[in-house]
Every structure is written in C-alpha cells, then in structure tokens.
Amino acid sequence: MPTDQPAPIPDFLYGTAWKEDRSAALTEMALRAGFRGIDTANQRRHYFEAGVGEGLQAAYRAGIVTRAGLFLQTKFTYRRGQDHRLPYDPAARLSVQVAQSLASSLEHLATDHVDSLVLHGPSSNIEWTDADAEVWEAMQRERDAGRTRLLGVSNVSLGHLEGMAAVHSEMPAFVQNRCFARLGWDREIRAFCNQRTILYQGFSLLTANPELLQHPSHIGLAQQLNATPAQVVFSFARAIGVLPLTGTSSTQHMKQDLASVDLTLTPEIVRAIESMAG
C-alpha cells in the first residue's frame, strides 16, 4: 500500500476565523477533539494564520496527528478584503500576489503544500472579471507546481460561477459559501455544484439561521433525536450534500459538532427541515 496518499476530505472543517491570539490553542484543541480538516486564510484582518501554524506544530509534537493525516485549506484574499497587514506586494501583478500569498501561507503552516487553496471572494459582487480570471489561472499554476492539491472559490453567486464556466475549462473542486436556510440553504448554487461534482462547503450554518435554531419544531425535532439543535443542522447539512464548517471555541461544542457525523436523519426529517425555512 502506498503511504503517501493524501488525506481524504474530512466530513467536518474546523474554521479558524476571528480567533486572534487564541488561534494556536484552539487549533490544537480542535485537533485533539478529532477534527482533521482546518480552514484558514492569509487575511490577517480576520485570521491569524501563523497562530494556526503554531497550533498544528503543537499537535504534531504531541503526536495527535501528522501533516499527512490533515486536510489544510487556506485562501487568497484581494487587497480590498485585507487591512494593512498584507501577505503580498500590492503593487505586484495579481498572479504574483497569488504566488506570494500562498508562499507566505506555506511558511505560516510550515508545510510544502496545502490541500486546498480558495479564492476568498471574487473582485466584483456582480460578475466574474478579468482580474478573477488572472487569479484563477495563477491558482491553477500553483496547483500544477504542487503547492496545493485542490482549488476552490468562496462567496460566489450563480452569476460568478456561470461567468467562470464561460471562460475557464477548469472549475473549482470546492465552493465555500454562507448558507442561509431562507435561501433554501443556497439551493441554486448547490444545484450548480451537484451538476459539476463540485463539493459545497457551508459556513455560518448556525449564525446565519437563528430563526431555524429557535423554531419550536426544530427544537422539538432535536429533542426527539436526542441531539442538540446545532447537531441537527450539521447533520442536515451533510444530508443535503454540504460539507459543514464550524468555528466553535468550546471543547464541548467541538465534541458535539463532531458527534453530529453519527446522527443520520431520515429523508422525511430532511424534507421537514427544508420546509421549515426557504
């Protein structure tokens, strides 16, 4: 058996946004709890990627996991999504910025490759632009050079994806979007992804959907299943083909979130949750 097979895509991603000086400790804690997928970004404004790297090192030293057993995902963020702490020369061409940002991520994470590099968000809210095309082609070159295994895009609309499909022969392996129940859990984008075998990653599954989590029917359903309302949302997400992210800072929630993998919902329950919103 070959021993250098890449780690499979895990069924939960631990998100490291907004952790600041707790990034290292929380990343290590998440790995100890059992997470094997880490989502970060080279965007100091919202993520402390070097801190995430320290957490990985601590987990490696403690023998919790090896690099080969982990799925590491980072992002390239345009200048407009950054503050003054840039991981690239803002005067350089976008393709150079992509290379510099990823080189800096690899340094932060002390690895020679990530498993996924994601475009944090397109340059325009309306359409897929020439700038995005330049970035996407640069990301493909990084992948071809072995510095990332897979590529993704985030915060995209159907228009972005259609624009992308019109000008590129290669589509992403991942789409990472905020998932609102009232929008049918991003139904249109998920349908596009299904048709093209793109794996949809969903974030803000809890924070974007307080009305569902507080809905008496949802609470009642969770009680019937002997689960928490949050666990039911994560399990529901998987049932509709969404790879969920959680950024919890609580050890108890980490365990509960991971345990949702073992909670299987019947098709009737999935339909009931879908009909509660969206």
Contact footprint for ligand NAP (CB under 6 A): 15-17, 39, 120, 154-155, 176, 203-207, 228, 230, 245-250, 253, 256-257
CB closer to ligand NAP, 12 vs 88: 12
If we measure between CA atoms, which residue out of 174, 181, 180 comes closest to residue 270?
181
Measured CA to CA, the distance from residue 174 to residue 13 in angstroms comes to 13
Question: Nearer to ligand NAP by C-beta: 3 or 209?
Answer: 209
Q: What is d(CA 60, CA 63) in angstroms, rounded to the nearest whole number? A: 5
Nearer to ligand NAP, 115 or 257 (CB): 257
| Structural contact between residues 175 and 154, judged by C-beta atoms closer than 8 angstroms | yes
Q: How far is the CB of 169 from ligand NAP (least distance, A)?
A: 25
Nearest residue to the partner ligand NAP, using Cβ: 15
Can you read off the two tokens belonging to residue 94? 């976008």
Residue 182: CA atoms inside 13 Å, Cβ hemisphere, count? 7
Q: How far is the CB of 120 from ligand NAP (least distance, A)?
A: 6
DSSP string of 160-195, one letter each residue = HHHHHHHH-S---SEEEEE--GGGTTTHHHHHHHHH
265 residue type, one letter: L
CB of 206 to ligand NAP, least distance (A): 4
Of the pair 4, 83, the CB lying nearest ligand NAP is at 83
Question: CB 91 → ligand NAP: shortest distance, Å?
Answer: 25
Exposed/middle/buried for residue 81 (C-beta within 10 Å: 0-12, 13-18, 19+): middle
AA letter at 251 = T
Smaller CB distance to ligand NAP: residue 206 or 212? 206
> Measured from the CB atom, is 13 or 65 closer to ligand NAP?
13
Tokens of 25: 């400790």
- Minimum CB separation of residue 124 from ligand NAP in Å reads 16
Kindly state the DSSP code that residue 239 receives in the 8-state scheme: H
